[in-house]
């Protein structure tokens, strides 16, 4: 298997300044898989849902060539539910409700055909479960990418530190990088986090773009200035999915190619926020993606040959 993604498949209730949705499909692994599916068709998902999860969404994911053999469907149980409300600036949100449901006793069983993935994307999940997934693989993948969040820094820091030692790349947002490192300067924070294990670090800054760190190398891709951000939910996971999807499809983990993957992740995330939930990610065309990549190039491209007089 080329790419294995692990994380949550969920129901979300969302409220943004642009509207409200009571119960739509969400979850880190949903966004990751959908986004990655535009780049390759050899990808599998490991997650869990209840028997309330819509067959329609399962069909949609299968139509995107996402292998769902690793999706456990628990009869008589309910799907993980998260509810949140975004502030006017869209960069901050309050969690209104979290119902773990099937996640409470989730045991991430890896199907036989999933046990030798070349690339692994550990979407946001309890660090102990992310560790369990790594333990259950038979090979050492070419690249393991980890996403996590501030909650696990608060309640499961020791487990998180163990996972960090076993992954190649970490993606977190700027506030989380500051919390994890104890440093305000992102450049200093990056150095400390890279000492915790991963060789690469991506710091996501929402509307301000994303930074890729590797040793003393830094790459910065801005976010595309959009007319409106309707719903930021899943943008970080969509970024991760585009990043790992592009990397595994091109099968090149050089820093130069990771830069391209960061741009691709940013392009995919810029679509995600244009509609509620994963809606915009369901029917993208390759032309739309190519066109957006061209916009990113145009947005940041400059030549400079100045000679001082």
Check: CB of residue 263 under 8 Å from CB of residue 19.
no
Please identify which residue in 55, 104, 112, 306 interacts with its own copies, judged by CB under 8 A.
Answer: 306
Under rule CB under 8 A, how many of the chain's residues touch its own copies? 45
Residue nearer to its own copies on the CB measure, 21 or 259: 259
Q: What residue ranges in the chain does DSSP mark as E strands?
A: 3-6, 10-16, 19-26, 43-50, 66-74, 81-86, 93-99, 119-122, 143-147, 169-173, 200-204, 210-214, 217-221
Residue nearer to its own copies on the CB measure, 103 or 190: 190
- Considering only the stretches 21-29, 61-69, 74-82, 223-231, report the one whose residues sit in contact with its own copies under the rule CB under 8 A: 223-231
Asked if 308 is part of the footprint of its own copies (rule: CB under 8 A), the reply reads yes
| Distance (Å, whole) CA 105 – CA 170 | 26
Nearest to 137 by CA among 217, 72, 54, 46: 46
Check: CB of residue 9 under 8 Å from CB of residue 126.
no
- Interacting residues with its own copies between 77 and 136 (CB under 8 A): 88-89
- Interacting residues with its own copies between 245 and 304 (CB under 8 A): 246, 249-250, 256, 259-260, 263-264, 286, 289-290, 293, 297, 299-300, 302-304
Check: CB of residue 240 under 8 Å from CB of residue 147.
yes
Q: In angstroms, give the least distance from the CB of 95 to its own copies.
A: 23
Q: Which residues contact 301 (CB under 8 A, 6 or more apart)?
A: none
The first and second tokens of residue 48, run together, are 């869990």
Asked if 222 is part of the footprint of its own copies (rule: CB under 8 A), the reply reads yes
Residue nearer to its own copies on the CB measure, 197 or 219: 219
Residue nearer to its own copies on the CB measure, 167 or 221: 221
Residue nearer to its own copies on the CB measure, 97 or 227: 227
| Per-residue x/- track, 181-220, its own copies (CB under 8 A) | ---xxxxx----------------x--xx-x------xxx
Q: In angstroms, give the least distance from the CB of 263 to its own copies.
A: 6
- Interacting residues with its own copies between 5 and 34 (CB under 8 A): none
Buried b (16+ CB within 10 A) or exposed e, 26-55: bbbbbbbbbbbbbbbeebbbbbbbbebbee
Kindly report the backbone phi and psi dihedral angles of residue 197, in degrees, each rounded to the nearest multiple of 5, phi listed first: 150, -60
Please identify which residue in 120, 194, 229, 281 interacts with its own copies, judged by CB under 8 A.
Answer: 229
| Per-residue x/- track, 38-57, its own copies (CB under 8 A) | xxx-----------------
Nearest to 169 by CA among 248, 109, 87: 248
| Distance (Å, whole) CA 18 – CA 219 | 33
Q: In angstroms, give the least distance from the CB of 210 to its own copies.
A: 10
Q: In angstroms, give the least distance from the CB of 98 to its own copies.
A: 28
- Sign of the CA dihedral running 171, 176, 180, 184: positive
Asked if 74 is part of the footprint of its own copies (rule: CB under 8 A), the reply reads no
Residue nearer to its own copies on the CB measure, 105 or 185: 185
* Bridge partner residues of 279 (DSSP): none
Check: CB of residue 150 under 8 Å from CB of residue 160.
no
Residues forming contacts to its own copies in the complex (CB under 8 A) are 38-40, 88-89, 184-188, 205, 208-209, 211, 218-222, 225-229, 246, 249-250, 256, 259-260, 263-264, 286, 289-290, 293, 297, 299-300, 302-304, 306, 308-309
């Amino acid at each position: 298997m080329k790419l294995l993604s692990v994380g949550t498949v969920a129901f979300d209730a969302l409220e943004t300044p642009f509207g409200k949705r009571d119960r739509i499909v969400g979850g880190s692994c949903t966004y990751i898989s959908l986004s990655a599916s535009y780049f390759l068709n050899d990808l599998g998902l490991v997650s869990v849902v209840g028997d309330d999860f819509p067959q329609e969404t399962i069909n949609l994911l299968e139509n995107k060539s996402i292998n769902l053999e690793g999706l456990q469907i628990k009869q008589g149980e309910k799907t993980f539910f998260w509810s949140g409300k975004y502030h006017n600036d869209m960069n901050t949100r309050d969690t209104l409700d979290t119902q773990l449901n099937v996640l409470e006793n989730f045991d991430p069983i890896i199907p036989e055909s999933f046990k030798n993935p070349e690339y692994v994307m550990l979407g946001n999940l309890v660090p102990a479960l992310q560790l369990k997934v790594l333990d259950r693989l038979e090979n050492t993948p070419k690249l393991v990418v980890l996403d996590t969040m501030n909650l696990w820094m608060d309640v499961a820091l020791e487990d998180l530190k163990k996972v960090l030692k076993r992954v190649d790349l970490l993606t977190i947002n700027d506030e989380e990088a500051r919390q994890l490192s104890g440093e305000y300067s992102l450049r200093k924070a990056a150095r400390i986090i890279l000492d915790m294990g991963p060789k690469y670090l991506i710091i996501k800054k929402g509307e301000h773009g994303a930074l890729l760190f590797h040793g003393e190398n830094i790459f910065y891709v801005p976010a595309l200035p959009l007319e409106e951000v309707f719903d930021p939910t899943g943008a970080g996971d969509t970024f991760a999915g585009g990043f790992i999807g592009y990397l595994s499809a091109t099968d090149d983990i050089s820093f130069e190619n990771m830069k391209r993957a960061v741009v691709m992740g940013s392009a995919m995330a810029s679509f995600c926020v244009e509609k509620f939930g994963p809606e915009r990610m369901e029917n993208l065309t390759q032309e739309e993606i190519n066109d957006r990549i061209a916009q990113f190039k145009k947005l940041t491209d400059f030549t400079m040959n100045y000679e001082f007089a």
